[in-house]
Amino acid sequence: MNNLERFKKAIDWQPIDRVLTYDLLDNREILIRYGGFDPSKEYSFEELTEINAKAWKNIGLDVTRGVYDPINHWMGGKITNWIRFFGVDPGEWEVTQAGETAWISKRPFKTLRELEKYLPQKPVYEEVRDWYQPVIRLIQEITSHYDVVFIGAVEGPITDAYTYMDMELFATAIYDAPEIVSHIMDCTGLFSAYIARAFAEVTEVPMLFMGEDIAGSTGPIFSPDFVREQGLPRWRWITEPVKSKGYKFLYHSDGRYGKFLELIFDELGADGLNPIERNGCNDIFEIKKAYPNKLLFGNVCCMQTLPHGTLGDVEDETLELIEKIAPDGGIFIGSSSEVHDHVPVENAVKMYQTVHEYGAYPIDVDRIRARRMELRKKGELRLRADMDL
C-alpha cells in the first residue's frame, strides 16, 4: 500500500496499516541535510520541488501542502498573482524579507481614498486554470515518485483581503467602507474558488486545504458575525467544487478556535482541522471528544516542544497523540503549524520517527504508555516533566 492509497482510506475512515505524518516544512537545514539543497546554487521550480520531495521522503513525512523556497519568500509570489490575475498596478509594491519572515513593506495606497484607485478586478477562471493546473500536475507528479501525498491549498478570502489591504486599513474599512471590503473579498474568494475548481478537475489527491487566519492566541481577530456574513458564503464558493467531487476540505486557522469550531464544522461542513495550536489555544483531545468524526492534523507544539524541548519531550508529546487519538483513526501527526527554522533537525526527525515506530495498527497502547513512563523514569523530559500520563 503506498501513501496515496493510505491517505484515501484514512480520510474516509477506512482501516489502514499505520498513522500518516502531515506537516509544512520550511526549515532550511532539513532541506540541506535531507534534500541536498545547496544555498549557493540557483534552482528552477521543478528542481526545487524535487529537492523538497526528497527531503520529505527522507525525513519521514507522508503528506504535505507546500514547496519551500528558502531564498524567495512566498509573499512575493502573492503580489505577482495579484498583478497577473487581479489587474493590479505593478508599481509601488515592495516585500521586505528578514530571515524566515517577510511582509509587504510598501503598497501604492495608505488610505481608503487612495485604495479606491487600486481596487482589484475579478479574476477570469480560464486564466487561473491555465496557470495553476500545469503547476499542480508537476508538483504531484514529482512527489508521487517519492511516495509523498501533496494536497491542494488556497488562501482564505478574508486573509487574502487583509493581506492585500493591510490589516489596519482592512479593519477600518469593515465599518467605514464595507462595500470595498466586499468587493476585494469577492476577488480573493473567486481566485481561491477558481483554484479549487482547477484542482478538482485534475488531481488524484482528494483533499483541499484553505488557510484562513481568523483567530489569534486569545481568540477571534474578527467578530463571529462578520465572519459568518462575509466569510462563510465565500468559503462555500471554495468548498463547492471540492465537495461535488466527493473530496475532503481541510480548514486552517492559527490561534484559538473557540466558538469558530461551530461555524467551521457545523455550518461550513469542513472535514478536518489544522493546525490546532497548543499553548493555551486549543485542546486537541477536547476537540476530538466534541467532534469525533472530524479529521485532525497536528499537533506537536511548534512554539515550545519542537524548538525548545528535549528529544524526550518531542517523543512524549507525539506518543500522547498516538495513544489517545490514533486508536480511533482520523489523526495525521505533525507540528502544530509548521517545522520552521528554529526547530532543531533532530527534534523534527524524532517526531516523525516516533509516528512510524509506534503508529502501526492496531495501536499498542500498553507499549506506548510503558515508553512514556520510561522517559519519565530516565529523566529525559524537561518541558513535559510534570505532566501526568
pLDDT at 217: 87
218 within 8 A of 280, measured Cβ to Cβ = no
Looking at the domain assignment, is residue 168 inside a domain? Answer: yes
Domain interval for residue 364: 1-65+296-389
Antiparallel, parallel or unpaired: β 20-21 and 295-297? unpaired
pLDDT at 389: 82
Q: Are residues 240 and 261 in the same domain?
A: yes
**Rounded CA gap, 84 and 87, in Å?**
6
Predicted TM-score (pTM) of the model is: 0.96
Q: Are residues 303 and 217 in the same domain?
A: no
Q: For 146, which DSSP code?
A: T
pLDDT at 101: 80
What angle do helix axes 178-202 and 157-165 make, rounded to 10 degrees?
130
Q: Are residues 163 and 118 in the same domain?
A: yes
pLDDT at 239: 99
Q: Are residues 123 and 54 in the same domain?
A: no
231 within 8 A of 157, measured Cβ to Cβ = yes
Looking at the domain assignment, is residue 217 inside a domain? Answer: yes
pLDDT at 280: 80
Q: Are residues 17 and 164 in the same domain?
A: no
244 within 8 A of 208, measured Cβ to Cβ = no
Q: Are residues 98 and 207 in the same domain?
A: yes
Looking at the domain assignment, is residue 215 inside a domain? Answer: yes
Q: Are residues 113 and 231 in the same domain?
A: yes
Q: Are residues 58 and 88 in the same domain?
A: no
Q: Are residues 48 and 110 in the same domain?
A: no
Q: How many domains does the chain have?
A: 2
**Rounded CA gap, 34 and 27, in Å?**
11
* Mean pLDDT by groups of 10 residues along the chain of 389 residues: 98 98 98 98 98 99 97 90 95 84 92 96 99 99 99 98 98 98 99 99 98 92 96 99 98 93 97 91 95 97 96 98 98 96 98 99 98 97 88
Q: Are residues 57 and 98 in the same domain?
A: no
Looking at the domain assignment, is residue 290 inside a domain? Answer: no
**Rounded CA gap, 345 and 315, in Å?**
14
